[in-house]
Amino acid sequence: MINQGEILETIAMIDQQHLDVRTITMGISLLDCADASAWRSCEKIYGKICRLAGKLVRVGEDIEAEFGIPIVNKRVAVTPVALVAESSDAASYVPYARALDRAAKAVGVDFLGGFSALVHKGYTVGDRKLTASIPEALAETDVVCASVNVATTRAGINMDAVAEMGRVIKRAAELTGDAGGRACAKLVVFANAVEDNPFMAGAFHGPGEPECAVNVGVSGPGVVSHALESCKGAPFDEVAETIKKTAFHITRMGQLVAREASQRLGVPFGVVDLSLAPTPAVGDSVADILEGMGLESVGAHGTTAALALLNDAVKKGGVMASGHVGGLSGAFIPVSEDAGMIRAAAAGKLSLEKLEAMTCVCSVGLDMVAVPGDTPAETISAIIADEAAIGVVNNKTTAVRLIPVPGKTVGERVDFGGLLGSAPIMAVNACGAKAFIDRGGRIPAPLQGLRN
């Protein structure tokens, strides 16, 4: 039960500290939509999404109105399309992306994830078709998001896929050059991707998930930042305890919304994702939390340690508030979507190398990082390889959402709009990696992957 004091405290968090439910995401299995005819398969996909998610937006709005809890996004995640489309006669999977986009708009959701492939140990025929289709699919659709999993701790790193994704990202940027390479903002390259992630652009409904499920992603960097004002100069033990208690309250709210949505939609409750997801709004920044611990600026020495404490404390507090915690659950550090990160990057206080170090201890990885448009595909692939290695060796999810902005160079800025925010173009190490990437093959799994 939630007592009156907790209710009043939560109201204050919502009114003054940017607390919200960042997303209600309905996961939908499309495995039964496979068909030898691509046209019939796309029609089945459109019909199923409309049938199951038709009430999602209205239910979210009703809960928002009744409980006074802001629910920023309503989204859908589907089975990786490479699995669904492989048996069809399609030479390209762009028609599947169009069908997904059409269905998403029909039900009114903000984004739809799952134009995805899992290639960590190698390609199937369908995986190759989907990967080749990504640039055109993302350029031609508005709300469809794509992801490719290129590595796992158990399988190692598929370096052929890593090399290909560098070229895919470059092509996607070129096709949407007039919009600052915006297609790349809808594309994530993963290591150790999870099957129940409610956050975009990397959400998909994994093959181990049920027919349909509701997953909720909470957020509250502003709430945590505000809570830390009460422990200025206090030892880190007290800082960690304060964050844990705050994360508990945030997660309780997410649990309430998740169960309400599940009951009203008649769909099983999946997980609450505890991730602190920032926005470009002032006062809603993960960077502000780190600076609140005593750093002059995010990016300074000590930033990685501060982020590690934050990530751990959020998880510890959240798991006490919900019996079903999943997704990514921790702290996000998307440069373009965090006002403090934008500020530090623009001032030259936050480098790509420091961001990479921070990804060792955060929820995901290099997220929404804008780089010069002339960055070679092989360099992008090498950045992906580095992030995949961090994920594989540390047995955690890492990801790259990198945007080589056509026509832009270091010091300039790109504006994506909305929650995607804006970002300064960050410098990339000019040393080449072509010979390294051209080797191909697989980087073997680390010894800790053999855990049986």
pLDDT tens per residue, range 403-439: 999 999 998 988 887 777 788 999 999 999 999 999 9
What token pair was written down for 177? 């050059």
Mean pLDDT over each residue of the chain, to the nearest integer = 89
Tokens of 427: 């410098």
Pick 278 or 341 by higher pLDDT: 341
Taking the domain 1-440, which CATH number applies? 3.20.70.20
Half-sphere exposure of 68 (CA within 13 A, CB side): 8
Residues 6+ apart with CB under 8 A from 158: 119, 120, 121, 122, 150, 151, 442
* Distance of alpha carbon 307 from alpha carbon 293, whole angstroms: 10
DSSP string, 345-397: HHTT-S-HHHHHHHTTTSSS-EEEEEEETT--HHHHHHHHHHHHHHHHHHTS-
**Which of the four pLDDT bands, split at 50, 70 and 90, describes residue 400?**
very high
What is the pTM (predicted TM-score) of this model?
A: 0.92
Domain ranges of the chain: 1-440
Percent above pLDDT 70 for the chain: 95
Percentage, residues of the chain above pLDDT 90: 63
pLDDT tier, 12 (very low <50, low <70, confident <90, very high otherwise): low
Using the predicted structure, report yes or no on whether residue 376 has a pLDDT greater than 70: yes
Residue-level pLDDT at 1: 46
- Strongest mean pLDDT among 95-104, 216-225, 403-412: 95-104
Torsion angle (degrees, nearest 10) of CA 409, 412, 417, 420 = 60
CA–CA gap between residue 336 and residue 328 (Å, rounded): 19
In sequence order, what DSSP letters do the residues of 222-280 get, joined into one string?
Answer: HHHHHHHGGGTT--HHHHHHHHHHHHHHHHHHHHHHHHHHHHHHT--EEEEE--B---S
The rounded distance, in Å, linking the Cα atoms of 253 and 256 is: 5
Grouping H, G, I as helix, E, B as strand and the rest as coil, residue 76 is strand
Q: Does 280 score more than 80 pLDDT?
A: no
Backbone angles phi, psi at 274, to 5 degrees: -85, 0
pLDDT over 80 (residue 449) = no
| For residues 199-222, average pLDDT | 90
Q: Is the pLDDT of residue 4 over 50?
A: no
> For 215-235, what is the mean pLDDT?
84
pLDDT digits (tens, 9 = 90+) for 165-178: 999 999 999 999 88
Spatial CA neighbour of 195 closest among 175, 179, 180, 215: 215
Amino acid at 131: T
pLDDT band, very low/low/confident/very high, at 16 (cuts 50, 70, 90): very low
